[in-house]
Amino acid sequence: MRDRNCAFDLAMKECLGERGWLTRPEDKAAHARDWLDRYGEVPLGIARPASTAEVSAIVRLCAEHGISIVPQGGNTSLNGGSVAISPASVILSMARMNRIHTIDAADFTATVEAGVVLAHLHEKLTAHNLAFPLHLGAEGSAQIGGLIGTNAGGSHAMRYGMMQDLVLGLEVVLADGTVWDGSRALIKDNAGYQLRRLFCGSEGTLGIVTKAVLRLFPAPVARATALLALPDPDAALRIGALLRASTGEFLTAVEFFNEPGLSLLLKHVPHISRPLETPGPVYLLVEIATSIPEIELPDILDRALSAAFETGDVLDGTIATSEAQRAALWRIREELPEGQRLEGRQIKHDVSVPVARLAAFVAEASAGSERVLAGVRVNPFGHLGDGNVHFNLSPPEGCTDFEEREMQLSQAVYEAAVRHGGSIAAEHGLGQAKVELADRFRSTTERSLMRQLKSTLDPHGIMNPGKVV
C-alpha cells in the first residue's frame, strides 16, 4: 500500500510540480475538514491544477491508481460534500483555475473557470453594467464550480432560478479523464440530452466541472429594500402574495426569519443593531430591483407596503434609503447562521416545501421538535419566495446539548417537510450527510435511477465517492 501510494505521489509531483501537489500535513489540514468541522478524512494530498489538461491528467492518474477524487471549491458545503470519506483520496482544489475568460456584454454571457469566487465575478461584472444574479451568504468564498456542483440557490432564486437555470454551457472532465466540451453560449440547444443540467447538482460525482458559460443580466439600475415586522408566518405568506401581485417582475427576494434568530444574532455578532422598534415575531426582508431607468421603484414599494400596513399584516417596517442601509439589512439576514453557530451546538436542516405550505410546515416542524425535546429553540429562516426553509435548532435555554435526541429531532423536521410535499434537500445538496436520508425519504425507483447514472458515468467509483448516492 505504502509503495503504491509512493508511486502515486511521485507521479502527481511530476505531473503537477511543487505548486500543484501539496502533501505537507499543514496543507492537507487546511483542506481536509468541512466548514462545520464535522466531516473529512485526511487525503493523500491536495492537487491544485492550473488547467483543464492538468485536471484530466490528475483524473487519469487517480483512475490508474484507484484513488478517489474530491473536487473542492470554497469548501463551504454544509453537508460534507467537498471533503473525503477515505484517506485514499486526493482533494482537487480548484483555486488556481480562477480566470474569467470572457465577459460578453452583447450576448450577456461570461465564460469562467470553475475556481472563480462568486463575489469576485460579481465585482468584475459591475464595470460592465452586468449582473450574475446568484446571491448567497457564502459568496465571498464559494466558487463557481462548487455552486454548479450543488446547484446552488440563494436569495434571488425566486426571480432568476437556481444555478442550473443560469448555466448555458459546461466543460467537464469525465471519470476516465476525457474532457466533454459543452461550453456553448446558447440559450436554445436541443441537440440531445441536456447534459449540462445533469452535471449541475451532481456534486462532482459524475465529472469535474472545469469551465462554465454563465448567463448574465443587465445590472439593476435601482433597488428598493425593506425590512418588515409581522405578527405571524401566515401574515408573511399573505405579504409574499401581495408583493408578487403588486411588484411583479421586479420582486427579487422575499427572505424571512424570526425573533429568536434575530436575538441570537444581536447577542453574538458585533456591529449589528436591532433594525426595528417593534419586535417581530416574524420578519421579512424584501427587495425589488429593475434595470429600466425610468421606473420609480420606491413608489411601487411604498404602494405595496401601504396596502400591507392597512390589512394589519405589517406591524412595523423600514425602507433602506442608501446602499449602506441596504447592505446593513442584508447583513442581518446573511449573518443569521453565524449568530446561531456562535450560540453553541446546533442542528441544521435545509428543506423546501411548496411556497403556500411554508407556515404550516414551520408550525408542524416546531411542534414536532418541541415534542421530542421540550424547550428546544427553533430558528427557521430562509427564502419565503421559493419555499426554502433553513430550519435550525439550538438546545433549550441553559442547555448545551440536545440530550442525544438529534436523530429524533431531525426526523420530526424532515417528516413534516415531506408531509407537506417538500424536499429533504433544498439548496445544499446531499453531500455525504444526507445520502441515507435520501435513501429513506425518496422512492427506491428514484434512488436506483441515480445509482444507475452514477455507475454508468463513474464505473470505478472514483469521483467524489460517498456523496449523493
Of the candidates 5, 291, 318, 411, which one interacts with a second copy according to CB under 8 A? 291
- In the complex with a second copy, the residue whose CB is nearer, 46 or 433, is 433
SS3 295: coil
Helix 406-419 × helix 358-372 angle, to 10°: 150
The side-by-side arrangement of strands in the sheet containing 45-47 is 21-22, 45-47, 89-93, 68-72
Residue pair 374/389 in contact (Cβ under 8 Å)? The answer is no
Q: Is 306 in the site for a second copy (CB under 8 A)?
A: no
Q: Is 157 in the site for a second copy (CB under 8 A)?
A: yes
Is 339 exposed, middle or buried (CB count within 10 Å of its CB: 0-12, 13-18, 19+)?
buried
Of the candidates 356, 367, 407, 460, which one interacts with a second copy according to CB under 8 A? 356
Q: Which residues inside 450-469 make contact with a second copy, applying CB under 8 A?
A: 450, 452-453, 456-457, 468-469
Q: Is 97 in the site for a second copy (CB under 8 A)?
A: no
Q: Is 303 in the site for a second copy (CB under 8 A)?
A: yes
- In the complex with a second copy, the residue whose CB is nearer, 11 or 389, is 389
- In the complex with a second copy, the residue whose CB is nearer, 312 or 354, is 354
Distance CA 17, CA 258 (A): 51
Q: Is 447 in the site for a second copy (CB under 8 A)?
A: yes
Q: Which residues inside 246-265 make contact with a second copy, applying CB under 8 A?
A: 246-250
Taking CB under 8 A as the binding criterion, the range among 58-66, 159-167, 335-343, 391-399 that sits at the site for a second copy is 159-167
Distance CA 163, CA 152 (A): 5
Taking CB under 8 A as the binding criterion, the range among 18-26, 116-124, 284-292, 360-368 that sits at the site for a second copy is 284-292
Q: Which residues contact 402 (CB under 8 A, 6 or more apart)?
A: 345, 347, 373, 376, 393, 395, 409
Nearest distance, CB of residue 183 and a second copy, angstroms: 10
Of the candidates 151, 379, 410, 464, which one interacts with a second copy according to CB under 8 A? 151
Of the candidates 56, 82, 346, 388, which one interacts with a second copy according to CB under 8 A? 388
- Find the largest Cα–Cα distance for the chain: 75
Q: Is 428 in the site for a second copy (CB under 8 A)?
A: yes
Of the candidates 83, 162, 329, 413, which one interacts with a second copy according to CB under 8 A? 162
Taking CB under 8 A as the binding criterion, the range among 135-143, 177-185, 307-315, 371-379 that sits at the site for a second copy is 177-185
Nearest distance, CB of residue 41 and a second copy, angstroms: 23
Residue pair 121/100 in contact (Cβ under 8 Å)? The answer is yes
Of the candidates 10, 53, 367, 449, which one interacts with a second copy according to CB under 8 A? 449
How would you classify residue 37: left for phi > 0, otherwise alpha for psi between -120 and 50, otherwise beta? left
Taking CB under 8 A as the binding criterion, the range among 308-316, 338-346, 381-389, 400-408 that sits at the site for a second copy is 381-389
- Whole-angstrom CA distances from 117 to 24, 100, 414 are 25, 10, 32
Taking CB under 8 A as the binding criterion, the range among 88-96, 158-166, 269-277, 307-315 that sits at the site for a second copy is 158-166
Nearest distance, CB of residue 362 and a second copy, angstroms: 16
Nearest distance, CB of residue 204 and a second copy, angstroms: 12
**Grid coordinates belonging to 8:** 502515486
Q: Which residues contact 433 (CB under 8 A, 6 or more apart)?
A: 38, 39, 78, 79, 80
Q: Give the N- to C-terminal CA distance of the chain in Å, as an integer.
A: 27
**Grid coordinates belonging to 72:** 473542492
Residue pair 115/144 in contact (Cβ under 8 Å)? The answer is yes
Of the candidates 13, 218, 234, 281, which one interacts with a second copy according to CB under 8 A? 218
Taking CB under 8 A as the binding criterion, the range among 90-98, 223-231, 309-317, 445-453 that sits at the site for a second copy is 445-453
